[in-house]
Amino acid sequence: MKRILRALCLLLCLVLLPLSAPAETAAPGESPAPSVRVLLRRLNLTDRVDLVLDGVYTAALGEDVSMAFPQGSKVTVLIREGELYLFYQGMSLHVGSSITLIRNESGDNARTGLRFDENGNLYPGHLALSVKDGLLHPILTLSVEDYLLGVVPYEMSESFPLEALKAQAVCARTYALSKIDPARDYDVVDTTNDQVFKGVNYNYTNAVRAVRETAGVVGTYKGNLAICYYSASNGGQTELVENVWSGRGDWNYYAMTDDPYDLENPESIVRTAKIAKNGAVSDSLRSILFSYILPDMVQQGFVANAENLRIDSISAMSLGGPEFEEPSRYMTELTLTFAWSGRRVVDAASAVPSPTGTPDVEYYFFATPEPTHTPIPTSTPEPTTTPEPVRMLTDFQPASEPATVTIDIFPEVIRDLNLSISGSDNEMLTLTENDTHYILQARRYGHGVGMSQRGAQWMAGKYGKLYHEIMSFYYPGMTLMRVQSGAPVLPTAPMVLAATPAPPATPTPRPTLMPVTAAELPQGAYLAKVANIDDDSSLNLRLEPSQASEVLRRLYKHQQLIVLEVCEDPAWVKVKTDVIEGYVMVSFLEPISATATPAP
């Protein structure tokens, strides 16, 4: 019921915008844009957060107790014994199970907020911190228009054409508003589970302009907010919602459509595999084909293992097994017709000599068991034993006729041929041939539903399409409308608190990097550093090699580590410093010289 009422209230604020006309900037003084609550998972906060308040903030610390922080304040919030403690200018305050830092009116509100790193991006909103499962649970509440400033340049590159960025802004705004749910404590997360949000960098002027010039514009269907799904590349054909996600719904504003713009864009990812017609296939493909013709090998008396199968030539290849009804071109099967040979086992005595006088065979095994018998009196003749014949393996001999097999493309073939793009096993395949090879090409990065970002880039950049034309192509049944889009209304810090400014803030030191002694590394170990994370983020050091395992400590960028061993799951490695041992994901490390001087 709450969601229905919320939707009705939102729809009362919608103003029809013709699809053929671009939106104009929201008029000054109009109602503020709706707020969205973002769970900040990407920062990987554990038991500590260091904040720079780039604006005036207040915090309620208890009944009738509040505290104001002037612009430039640096504060730290820690978990100790399951409770939150706030540290500021030498003071430490026990604030209990939660605290909310409230952004206040202060000068140019468009450029105020908080930062998780002194030189990091701006997070222009209120920050609620609580403890959940022993870890910090940070939720940022901000205007949806401010939220988009931290989404658009990360979901679509700042270098994309302006009209493509505008289309991205409309998609992201519509998606965010469709996720608002008062029954939950947050609406979206800041990762690809919803939309990537990394805070605001006003140097991304194209993205800022795209958001401003589409202020409040959203997609609707039958008077309700649509859900604008989008992906990096659809591979040349848009996908239907019902083909990707289970569950019912009215998705008739989507359509399965060939997308020449995505297909033409040279920046759309393409993987290519060539399969030689002369039968020189990879060992992995030969093993797959072996599993399909094993009965034929047994029936024709060939030795039934992959090493004794040879593909002599491939005469035909085709794609088939459509997963969905036409016009879908998503194929799941590959059919091959090929001539093949196998090897048989024969007795050495029956082997046919080759022209050189040597039997055309290879040794397969010898059967020369020692005789076993019970000793008998010497007057009785010793029993004789008949040695087992020497068994040999023939050269490859052609099968009686070519084989035609249909093999599943997903998941083994797509990966063995190095055609996998995003690991989703939904690539769009095409097959061509020349005189010597069959050529398989795979496209599609993401689910393929809705707008293709690469397609939008090409539509705007090469063909000069406007954002509403891009939206019309990818969401043909959707209507563009406008919601409230003004600036957020911020509270004013109490005059009593604001009248006496606090002394200048002193820096809150970031945790010092842990020492690492690497003079004598254990055998097989090497020195690495935390590298592949943002400056305002951290890497979790865990008790076990699993994302579900307990977090021992947050590791900051440039922290040096001794990598001791690769785990059974090669995505994880065991690491140590002079202080602690644990497990991290290797993708977030960068190897450095074993003789490098460790950080002090």
Q: Is the pLDDT of residue 600 over 50?
A: no
pLDDT in tens, 6-62: 444 444 344 444 433 444 333 444 578 899 999 999 999 999 999 999 989 999 776
Q: Is the pLDDT of residue 370 over 60?
A: no
The two three-digit tokens of residue 523, written as one number:
């055998």
How far is it, in rounded angstroms, from Cα 184 to Cα 554? 28
- Give the mean pLDDT of the chain: 85
Q: Is the pLDDT of residue 391 over 80?
A: no
pLDDT in tens, 347-361: 766 555 444 444 444
SS3 of 140-200: EEEEHHHHHHCCHHHHCCCCCCHHHHHHHHHHHHHHHHHCCCCCCCCCEECCCCCCCCCCE
Q: Which of 452, 555, 550, 368 is nearest to 167 (CA)?
A: 452
Whether the full predicted model's pTM is greater than 0.85, yes or no, is no
Q: Is the pLDDT of residue 513 over 60?
A: yes
Task: Specify the pLDDT at position 512.
Answer: 67
How far is it, in rounded angstroms, from Cα 551 to Cα 136? 12
Q: Is the pLDDT of residue 2 over 50?
A: no
Q: Is the pLDDT of residue 204 over 50?
A: yes
**106 falls in which pLDDT band (50, 70, 90)?**
confident
Q: Is the pLDDT of residue 320 over 80?
A: yes
Please give the C-alpha separations between residue 176 and each of 24, 160, 189, 225, 428, in angstroms, as whole numbers.
21, 22, 10, 10, 29
Mean pLDDT of 164-188: 96
| Residues in Cβ contact with 500 at an 8 Å cutoff, skipping those fewer than 6 apart | none
Least confident of 101-115, 225-239, 275-289, 405-419: 101-115
Residue of 375 and 553 predicted with greater confidence: 553
Sequence ranges of the domains in the chain: 2-228+478-482, 270-343+398-443, 526-592
Q: Which of 235, 399, 405 is nearest to 317 (CA)?
A: 405
Task: Specify the pLDDT at position 424.
Answer: 87
Mean pLDDT of 211-223: 95
Contact 166, 214 (CB under 8 A): yes
The two three-digit tokens of residue 261, written as one number:
């713009």
| Residues in Cβ contact with 543 at an 8 Å cutoff, skipping those fewer than 6 apart | 549, 550, 551, 552, 582, 583
Task: Specify the pLDDT at position 505.
Answer: 46
Task: Specify the pLDDT at position 178.
Answer: 93
Mean pLDDT of 453-467: 97
Residue holding tokens 């002090």?
600
Contact 99, 61 (CB under 8 A): yes
Q: Is the pLDDT of residue 458 over 90?
A: yes
DSSP-H helix ranges across 323-371:
none
- Architecture of the domain spanning 526-592: Roll (2.30)
